[in-house]
Every structure is written in structure tokens, then in C-alpha cells.
Homo-oligomer: A and B are copies of this chain.
Amino acid sequence: MKLAVSGKGGVGKTTVAANLVKIFAQHGGTVYAIDADPDACLAAAIGIPEDEAAKLKPVVEMRDVIRARSGGGVFYTLNPKVDDFIDDYSYKLGNIRFLRMGDPKKGGSECYCRENTFLNALVTSLLLDQNDTVIMDMGAGIEHLSRGTARGVDMMLIVVEPSRNSINTARQVEKMAGELGIARTGIIANNVRSEKQIQFITNCFPEKSILGFIKFSEELWLNAMEPSPALETEKELLKEMKQVYLNILGEVGGNKH
């Protein structure tokens, strides 16, 4: 199962991705958790200590290794097999393998085309070659999607909140997912506080495409101020996310397992 999580900034993509990683991991098999957004914080949300995550080599550095092995050729035209390298660049937590794509950029840096091409090759390889579960936190998503990173994704999960702006972004992501040839998209509604808000989101998408609703949580906000977020997902959120998990299996699992 290969899943990508996208949606407008701030809607809760990382919370959704982290909980899916944990739930898939509980059901056995290796789960690759990929932080593909320099502005995201998937490691902490999974339960990897911040200092450990900071020590982890970003996979973008892997290009030098591959370049060396390929005899110094123009690396960005290759589609490297990354299986041999993944252990060096991932943080293991039980059967979760966490990888981060890159560090935040420096102000005033140059063009990233080579870097991005390499990252695409790598992610595509992960998505296409691995038999295990891959869950990618794509951040605001638009940039990554546009570079073709999403090839091989079984389902594009789009997180929305009860605002017209996040719905508009979701429609853009749906459109791009179609352009990229991704067969399935699913909506996860987050930060829902009222029946009116549930109704608003229900009216925006076909019923079948909505994978679940996640209620606004005061506890999550309290937690957000702590240096190390609590590892235990609160009960209500866990229940909601398990339903999302089952709905994803229902949509994708039939053809995969």
C-alpha cells in the first residue's frame, strides 16, 4: 500500500500521516514513513525524539553515494535502485522506517532542479519497488505533486478542514492527482467542531470519497506546546483514525491484498 497525504497548509496532514503510520505498523510489515515537506515535523509526531531526527542524514545526501557508485555519471538522469541504501538513511522505530527528504533550504539558495529530480527518482523507486507500506507526508503538496513525485501512489489522501479555502486546495490536488494518473483520492475532514461544519464538508464531496471525520481536539493543542509530544494518541482520535484506516483498506485493499 502506497499512500500520500496532501492538503492545504495547516489542516493536519502530519497528524493524519503519523497516525496512519502507527496504525499500519501495528498490523505488521515494514512501514516507510517519508517526510517529504521541509516545513513538516513527521518524526516528532511518530514519536522519534527531535534530536535523533535532526541527526538523521536527509536522503538528498544519498545522491553522492549513488553518484560515486554509478562512476560519476550525470546522476540525475538515473533511476537509482535505493533498496541498498535505505537502512543507512532511515531511523528505525519498531517496524517503522522513517526517512526525511531534505533539510530546510538556506535563504537565497540556487535552483533545486537536480536535487528535485533525484528526490523524484528516489521516491518513485520507493513507491514502485517496495512491497511494504509507504506513507508520504507531502506537505502543502502542490510543489511536490507538480514534480511527478506522486507516481506509484495507490491513493492520494487529502486532508481538509471546514473552510472554503482548504476545499479549493483539495480540488486542485484532486485535479493534479488525476493528471498524474493516481487512480484514487480520498478526503479526510479534520478540525471539525460542529454539525454545520460536517454538513458543509459533506456537501462539498461525493459521500463515497469521504474517508472520515476528525473532531477538533483541545488536548492536541495543549500537546502542541510540549517539547516532546505525547506518544499515545488520544482515544477519540485513535478511534477516528482507525475508521479512516479501515475505509482505506476497503477502497485500496481489495486489489492489493
Contact = CB atoms under 8 A, between A and B. Distances in A.
B224 A142 contact: no
Contacts of A41: 165, 168
Interface stretch (A8-16, A64-72, A128-136): A8-16
Given A39-B8, A113-B113, A221 B193 contact: yes
A225 interface: yes
Contact of A107 (B44, B106, B176): B176
A178 interface: yes
A169 B177 CA distance: 28
A105 interface: yes
A162 B225 CA distance: 6
Contacts of A113: 111, 113
A233 interface: no
A39 B224 contact: no
A39 B158 CA distance: 14
Interface stretch (A86-94, A146-154, A235-243): A146-154
Interface of A: 8-11, 14, 38-39, 41, 44, 104-109, 111, 113, 116, 139-140, 142-143, 145-148, 150, 162-165, 168-169, 172, 175-180, 193, 196-197, 200, 221, 224-227, 229
8 closest residue pairs by CB, A with B: A10-B10, A9-B9, A107-B176, A107-B179, A163-B224, A105-B146, A107-B180, A9-B10
